[in-house]
């Protein structure tokens, strides 16, 4: 099959990556199911940028290590003096879960939520909890497909003197049989009277002064008549269980006789934004920065078919986090930041305080290494996202989306692969998720601005490419994780 040409995106030239020569030469394609070594390690950043453009790239290996995970350096005691105090005991560190295994763990962590009944007006965005079978034949009776004349037998045809006709939806319209050689006016969607053998379109007929209809084109038997049951018969399966409810499906359900649908309840999600340094408005100042995740996560989660209860900003307050988790009745709680082991990283201690079960504690993926998944109680989960914005996106796609998809009863998306237009450097041991633009073609162009704290690349992207450990050369086929808005790009 001939490959399509790479998409022409002149407006995005400033975002496209210029990877240097000497990129990894492995030709083995990445796979979302491929196991990766569990040994985590620091990752090199992108290839060197052209002179003068270093600031556009993640830069060095240090850039791939989130500040959240940087352990404070222990100062040595004075020579001959009292040794420095031992640090507070920490729970044992676990090896990071390989990225494919983390996706699988998240997908299998929950069960589909119970079915609920929603009116057609309230079912959009849900998933069918039962197959949709036709409650009636469609159409329910023979109907006219066009405005014109319903004719019986060969022409010419005699029209009624009173000029009456058959209208759509008129229960009082005359439905007596039409005799051979006669015709009657008919509207689109109207019930076809008995005896009618075809419909002559308005533009294909001429009426004489004597009230006779002549067809300007040959009329075949059954022409422009939609026979009863043409689309389906009562009891036919229209769409299977697990189908997302779209506007088109709502229209089909209404036509088939439904007033309400049995759907899987949407997962209810609480979002807790942590960090004293975050501002809700205005320009960054005084060492504080704008909260980018609060405005982003609510709409993103809604696009995944969830019901977002609230987005709350708690700061770095362990007691407030504990109280919020205790009070929440959401199916899933999403936290941002605080998942590492720094002095104000309260997520792990709070989970221990709650007696939660850690299912995934760190993932071998860059960015987003310190993400986690925990079971708070039967049927309730917490996804801890790193505080860096692109790292949080990585956590959304790795842990939150597979879990929410299972809860909502949505089928896993079909695998999508594309060929890289440029080589992408990889981490020695970890998977990398890199923003790309592919516009539904077979070629994916890596984008700049893919550091853990950056959103500029993913804002222009329609997918993240899954780069295996060691990197991928130009021309390698890689898996793509499409972003929720990719269909409208």
Contact 117, 260 (CB under 8 A): yes
Q: Is residue 92 scored above 60 in pLDDT?
A: no
Contact 109, 379 (CB under 8 A): no
Residue 152 token pair: 């019986």
Nearest Cα to Cα of residue 245 among 120, 135, 134: 120
Q: Each residue of 191-234: pLDDT tens digit?
A: 999 999 999 999 999 999 888 999 999 999 999 999 999 999 99
Q: Each residue of 240-253: pLDDT tens digit?
A: 999 999 999 999 99
Contact 451, 367 (CB under 8 A): yes
Contact 333, 270 (CB under 8 A): yes
Q: Each residue of 399-418: pLDDT tens digit?
A: 999 999 999 999 888 888 99
Q: Each residue of 418-439: pLDDT tens digit?
A: 999 999 999 999 999 999 999 8
Nearest Cα to Cα of residue 404 among 476, 334, 458: 334
Looking at residue 24, the DSSP 8-state letter turns out to be -
How far apart (Å, rounded) are the C-alpha atoms in residues 22 and 159?
83
Distances (CA, A) of 383 to 145, 258, 271, 335, 365: 53, 37, 10, 6, 16
Q: Which residue has the higher pLDDT, 451 or 92?
A: 451
- Mean residue pLDDT of the chain comes to 81
Q: Which residue has the tokens 């119970």?
A: 114
Contact 44, 61 (CB under 8 A): yes
Pairing, β 443-446 against β 417-420? parallel
């Amino acid at each position: 099959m001939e490959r399509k040409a790479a998409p022409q995106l002149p407006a995005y030239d400033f975002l496209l990556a210029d990877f240097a020569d000497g990129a990894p030469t492995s030709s083995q394609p990445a796979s979302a199911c491929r196991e990766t070594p569990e040994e985590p390690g620091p990752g090199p950043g992108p290839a060197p940028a052209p002179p003068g453009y270093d600031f556009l790239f993640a830069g060095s290996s240090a850039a791939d290590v989130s500040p959240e995970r940087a352990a404070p350096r222990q100062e040595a005691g004075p020579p001959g003096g009292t040794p420095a105090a031992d640090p507070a005991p920490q729970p044992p560190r676990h090896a990071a879960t390989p990225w494919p295994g983390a996706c699988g763990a998240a997908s299998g962590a929950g069960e589909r939520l119970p079915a609920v009944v929603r009116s057609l007006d309230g079912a959009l965005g849900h998933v069918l909890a039962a197959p949709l079978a036709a409650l009636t034949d469609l159409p329910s009776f023979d109907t006219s497909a066009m405005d014109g004349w319903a004719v019986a037998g060969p022409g010419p045809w005699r029209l009624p003197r009173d000029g009456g006709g058959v209208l759509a939806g008129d229960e009082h319209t005359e439905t007596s049989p039409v005799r051979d050689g006669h015709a009657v006016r008919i509207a689109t969607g109207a019930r076809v009277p008995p005896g009618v053998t075809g419909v002559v379109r308005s533009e294909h007929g001429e009426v004489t002064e004597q009230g006779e209809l002549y067809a300007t084109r040959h009329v075949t038997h059954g022409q422009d008549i939609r026979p009863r049951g043409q689309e389906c018969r009562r009891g036919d399966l229209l769409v299977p269980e697990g189908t997302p409810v779209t506007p088109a499906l709502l229209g089909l359900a209404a036509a088939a006789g439904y007033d309400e649908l049995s759907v899987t309840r949407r997962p209810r999600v609480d979002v807790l934004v942590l960090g004293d340094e975050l501002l809700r408005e205005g320009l960054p100042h005084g060492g504080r920065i704008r909260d980018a995740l609060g405005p982003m996560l609510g709409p993103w989660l809604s696009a995944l078919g969830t019901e977002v209860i609230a987005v709350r900003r708690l700061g770095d307050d362990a007691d407030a986090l504990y109280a919020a988790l205790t009070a929440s009745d959401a199916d899933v709680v999403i936290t941002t930041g605080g998942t590492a082991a720094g002095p104000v990283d309260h997520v792990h201690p709070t989970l221990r305080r709650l007696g939660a079960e850690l299912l995934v504690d760190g993932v071998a993926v860059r960015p987003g290494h310190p993400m986690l998944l925990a079971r708070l109680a039967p049927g309730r989960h917490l996804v801890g996202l790193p505080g860096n914005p692109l790292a949080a996106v990585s956590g959304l796609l790795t842990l939150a989306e597979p879990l929410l998809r299972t809860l909502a009863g949505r089928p896993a998306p079909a695998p999508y692969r594309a060929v890289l237009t440029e080589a992408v450097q990889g981490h020695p041991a970890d998977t990398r998720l890199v923003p790309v633009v592919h516009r539904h073609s077979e070629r994916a162009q890596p984008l700049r601005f893919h550091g853990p704290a950056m959103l500029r690349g993913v804002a222009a992207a329609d997918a993240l490419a899954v780069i295996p450990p060691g990197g991928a050369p130009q021309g390698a086929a890689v898996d793509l994780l499409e972003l929720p808005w990719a269909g409208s790009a």
